C-alpha cells in the first residue's frame, strides 16, 4: 500500500478530526476543527474536499452532519485502533491527567543522561499539555516502567510530547 503524502495543514486538520471524533464519538463539524487549530472554517471546508478526494474523510450531510475519518485516515496518520487499550497513568504537574492512552514511548539518547529524551505519542489530543509541564508516565504494563521529566516540546500534528527525562524507574526483579 502506498503512503499518502499530506501537507502540514492537511495533517493538522486530519489529526484534529480524529481527536475530536474520538472524544465525541460522533461527526465533527468544520467549525469545531477550525476552533481547535485556530483556522478559518472556510479553510477547513476547502481542505476537507481534498481529504475526501484522498478517501481520508467522509462527509455526513444533514443538520447533525459533519465529517468522519475513514480507516485510511488512521493509516495515513500511522494510528492504531485498539479495542481495549491498556491504561497507563499520566500525571501532569503532580495532578492526574485526563485519561490518556499512550500509544508509544520512544527513548532517545538513553546512554547519555543529560540528553535522554522520551518521545511520547498519545492517542488523542495533546492540547492540554504545555512546555515546562512536569509529567510522570507509568507504570507501563509488563515492564512497570515509570518516566518522569519536563515537557520540552508539544507536537500537535503528531499528538506527540518530547520529554527531557529526569528519571526512569522500574521495579527490581
Domain boundaries, the chain: 8-76, 90-169
> What are the start-end ranges of the H helices in the chain?
8-24, 30-37, 41-53, 71-76
How do residues 15-63 score in pLDDT, each as one tens digit? 888 888 877 778 888 898 898 888 888 888 889 998 988 989 988 888 8
Average pLDDT over residues 95-100: 77
CA distances from 138 to 28, 43, 73, 117, 119 (A): 31, 39, 29, 16, 14
The CATH number of 8-76 is which of 3.40.47.10, 3.30.1600.10, 1.10.10.10, 3.90.1010.10?
Answer: 1.10.10.10
Amino acid at each position: 500500500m502506498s503512503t499518502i503524502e499530506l501537507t502540514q495543514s492537511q495533517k493538522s486538520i486530519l489529526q484534529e478530526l480524529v481527536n475530536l471524533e474520538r472524544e465525541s464519538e460522533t461527526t465533527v463539524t468544520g467549525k469545531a476543527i477550525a476552533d481547535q487549530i485556530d483556522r478559518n472554517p472556510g479553510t477547513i471546508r476547502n481542505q476537507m474536499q481534498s481529504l475526501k478526494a484522498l478517501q481520508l474523510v467522509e462527509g455526513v450531510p444533514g443538520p447533525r452532519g459533519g465529517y468522519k475519518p475513514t480507516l485510511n485516515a488512521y493509516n495515513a496518520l500511522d494510528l492504531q485502533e485498539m479495542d481495549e487499550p491498556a491504561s497507563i497513568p499520566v500525571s501532569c504537574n503532580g495532578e492526574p491527567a485526563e485519561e490518556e492512552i499512550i500509544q508509544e514511548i520512544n527513548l532517545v539518547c538513553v546512554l547519555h543522561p543529560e540528553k535522554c529524551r522520551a518521545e511520547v505519542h498519545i492517542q488523542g489530543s495533546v492540547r492540554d499539555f504545555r512546555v515546562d509541564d512536569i509529567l510522570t508516565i507509568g507504570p507501563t504494563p509488563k515492564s512497570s516502567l515509570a518516566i518522569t521529566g519536563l515537557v520540552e516540546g508539544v507536537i500537535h500534528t503528531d499528538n506527540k510530547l518530547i520529554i527531557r527525562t529526569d528519571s526512569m524507574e522500574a521495579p527490581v526483579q
